[in-house]
Structure 1
Amino acid sequence: MNKPILNKNILGLGANSFFTDFSTEMILPLLPIFLERFLHATKTQIGLIEGLAELSVALLIALSGFYSDRLGRRKGIVVFGYGLSNLIKPLAFFAQSTTMIMTIRIGDRLAKGIRVAPRDALISASTPNGSSGFVFGFHKMMDGAGALIGSLSAFALLWWLGESEETFRTIFALSIMPGIISMIILIFLITDVPFLPTPVSRFRPSALPTQFYWLVGFQTLFSLFAMNYSFMILKAGDNGLALAVIPLAYTLYNLTQALFAIPIGKLADRLGKASLLSFVYLAFGLGAMAMATGSVWGAWLGFAIYGFFAGGFNSLAKAIISDTAPYDLKATAYGVYYTSVGIATLVSLAVAGWMWDNYGSTLLFVIASSSAVVLSLTLFMMRNRLAHF
């Protein structure tokens, strides 16, 4: 009898991610606005904060993944990482400067860096053969669904309480509630999947296959030209969206992310992950071009398409790693992947902020769009060489 694809661990880790993202997305869509409006941060400062936050994730993911593979267990590290994150995020309530927000963001991302690689390896260990695309798509869908509820909650509270600094801080404080629920699920419902670790004292790059490094190369290059949610939110304001409506537009992004995550994963299992990943790149390019028009409709369309992109970008990469990395080096592989992408993201966001402050937002989004289209076509043409994708 075949084991169910959505077993207790897959469902539990999905529910944990749902409530964690519920908590996170009550804060994230508001932070760039809070920084710019109430703490008077420049675009360069916002880009640097987000870039350093992503680099923090990258640096610890590699160490955490390697340690997890040497330890032979995953759950303890995952619990610690989620617990630290859910305690740090609500501290934004007390922030009085950009430095304080930067410290909170970096602390939260360090906590994410601790948990991500062992969590993804635990998902992989709980996944039946031949269903990695669907399982990681399901996990991304749960992420997106939690993010949808979180951003809707932020919009509802802004609309109900007003657009004051006090309202922003109240929302930050309330985010601790879904975070607590996520920890209860993780501690009491998730079962570890112990394994016998390989007695290797240091990481050997040659232990990971060529297909893995092709993936890392494409994802890293793409990340150099892409941008994250913070610049999409600021661009929406430039395009004419009212402040209270921006979290609603961000909710559209989360809705499309949740709706398409599973279909993208299922199609990837059938048609090939490289082909789907190239299409995801193209979607980002189209979304950035819509944003570059400078219109309100362009902002709404950009958020919708960006959600489709987010539904596949990392989940497809994680499914590829699940398929190609050796069993006892999966967390290490996730660590190498996130480290490379994180360093590229730091460079990308720092340069993007500087470019916006000096040359405006339109050029920035046109460059991002054009680069994504070129990389999409390149990956699609090379898909047959990347057989394991």
Structure 2
Amino acid sequence: MQKQRPLISRTVWILSLVSLFADFASEMLYPVVPVYLKEIGFSIALIGILEGFAEFVVGLSKGFFGKLSDDTGRRLPFIRWGYALSAMSKPMMAIFTWPAWIFLARSTDRMGKGLRTAARDALLAAESTHGNRGRIFSFHRGWDTVGAVLGPLFALAFLQWFPGQYRSLFFWALVPGVVSIALLFLLREKPAATQPAAHRVPFSPFSYLSYWKQSSPEYRHLLRGLLLFALGNSSDAFLLLQAKAITGSDSITIGAYIFYNIVYALSAYPMGILADRWGMKKTLVSGLLIFVAVYTGFAFNTSIAGVFILFFLYGIYAAATEGISKAWIANLAPAEKRGTAIGFYTSWQSICTLVSSSAAGLIWTAGGHTFMFLSAAALTLISLGWLVTGKIGKRPMPEG
């Protein structure tokens, strides 16, 4: 009798734990980075430009390394080096405070994300099927978000004992980053499906762009809607800055961010199950409607209780969209091109975030936070209109 394949494979478990520790390292810094940057002289506009520039770096690299992963048929080298670069970048931000150095450190972190993202997601897709892909991607996102709970909790406790000692946190973040790299050596490389050499586009840094013409109409319609949304979805740093302005407290702001990640972590896997049963389109559209409510709320809210309510809703939104969108894309791509398909999307998503974060910082500076949040909500409504008009996901690609 053939041995039944477990619903959650060993590879998925290890990748999930890797993401947990990597996100522990990143998220123990994320709530304090905007505050730290302001302390060393960065303006709101410059913070927006920094976040946008960092996303531009990751945007260029995701598509490049996604296609390279497909062409070589290898995933692990990209995943390992990606997590290693991100781990090494953490203490860099504390060594010097020169703007150019901060940009370099942030870009190194994002380059690591660009190296690993498409290869890791292609490996997750290979460990799943059309019937359970939503829950597998959401399972991974859920454990990733557990790290996003533990990281800010550590930061909160540390700052209670050592108020204002932001730089020390950057050095402590190296520890979980190293653990994430060590876990990756428990994985063994499996041959991935590759397309025949005769069918490959001559390789260049931008050769992954040719996938747009090769992809299905369903894939292109989905990406147009997702990228339109990305143009309105700026860095979460702006939510944290507004939360700090309302609460007046680092501890409460970090606490609200922890609360958001707890909601996200607990909701991710159930949302993945819902997407597999109810449909990815319905689940994702519902999540985007919640995003509109959250950003509209941040435009007008002035109470601490309102901050926690909005971050609760934001956790539901994230659980209903982030893993689901990639699982949906994986369903619309052939196995030998999943790295390219996911890399193409995440690449352009990051470039859109460059525009969004840079514009958000400038809009906030010129017109205030209310106008910035309402503009994002309005653009999201337009992307929703596009997504609900298309018949997407009706013809998933056969498994490789």
| Band the TM-score falls in, shorter-chain normalisation | over 0.9
Give the CA deviation at 1:128: 3.8
Gap change, CA 1:100 and 1:294, over 3 Å in 2? farther
Are the counterparts in 2 of residues 216 and 340 from structure 1 also a CA contact under 8 Å?
Answer: no
- Mapped partners of 2:325, 2:333: distance in 1: 12
- Mapped partners of 2:247, 2:253: distance in 1: 10
Q: What amino acid is the match of 1:267? A: L
- Mapped partners of 1:211, 1:192: distance in 2: 31
Query: Who is 2:207 aligned against?
Result: none
Gap change, CA 1:317 and 1:359, over 3 Å in 2? same
- Mapped partners of 2:212, 2:384: distance in 1: 27
Q: What amino acid is the match of 1:46? A: I
- Mapped partners of 1:304, 1:115: distance in 2: 29
- Mapped partners of 1:27, 1:104: distance in 2: 13
Match of 1:362 among 353, 365, 370: 370
Give the CA deviation at 1:219: 1.0
Match of 1:5 among 7, 12, 19: 7
Q: What amino acid is the match of 2:190? A: V
Query: Who is 2:167 aligned against?
Result: 169
SS at match of 2:28: helix
Query: Who is 1:221 aligned against?
Result: 228
Are the counterparts in 2 of residues 42 and 357 from structure 1 also a CA contact under 8 Å?
Answer: no
Give the CA deviation at 1:280: 0.9
Q: What amino acid is the match of 1:305? A: L
Are the counterparts in 1 of residues 221 and 390 from structure 2 also a CA contact under 8 Å?
Answer: no
What aligned pairs does 1:321-336 form with structure 2 within 5 A after superposition?
321-336=329-344
Are the counterparts in 1 of residues 222 and 387 from structure 2 also a CA contact under 8 Å?
Answer: no
Are 2:91 and 1:90 aligned? Answer: yes
Q: What amino acid is the match of 1:238? A: A
Are 2:70 and 1:73 aligned? Answer: no
Are the counterparts in 2 of residues 95 and 101 from structure 1 also a CA contact under 8 Å?
Answer: yes
Structure 1 window deviating more from structure 2 (309-318 vs 17-26): it is: 309-318
Q: What residue ranges of structure 2 are gaps of 5+ in the alignment? A: 203-209
Gap change, CA 1:64 and 1:385, over 3 Å in 2? closer
Q: What residue ranges of structure 1 are gaps of 5+ in the alignment? A: none
What do the CA deviations read for 1:68-97 (whole angstroms, capped 9, x no partner)? 111011111111111111111222221313
Query: Who is 1:192 aligned against?
Result: 189
Q: CA RMSD in A?
A: 1.6
SS at match of 1:259: helix
Give the CA deviation at 1:242: 0.9
- Percent of counterpart pairs with the same letter? 31
What do the CA deviations read for 1:96-126 (whole angstroms, capped 9, x no partner)? 1333222211110011101111111111112
TM-score (norm. length: structure 2): 0.92
- Mapped partners of 2:180, 2:354: distance in 1: 29
Are 2:190 and 1:182 aligned? Answer: no
Q: What amino acid is the match of 2:148? A: A
- Mapped partners of 1:194, 1:46: distance in 2: 42
Give the CA deviation at 1:297: 2.5
- Mapped partners of 1:141, 1:196: distance in 2: 27
Are the counterparts in 1 of residues 221 and 387 from structure 2 also a CA contact under 8 Å?
Answer: no
Query: Who is 1:58 aligned against?
Result: 59
Query: Who is 1:281 aligned against?
Result: 288
Are 2:279 and 1:272 aligned? Answer: yes
What aligned pairs does 1:18-37 form with structure 2 within 5 A after superposition?
18-36=20-38
Give the CA deviation at 1:234: 0.5
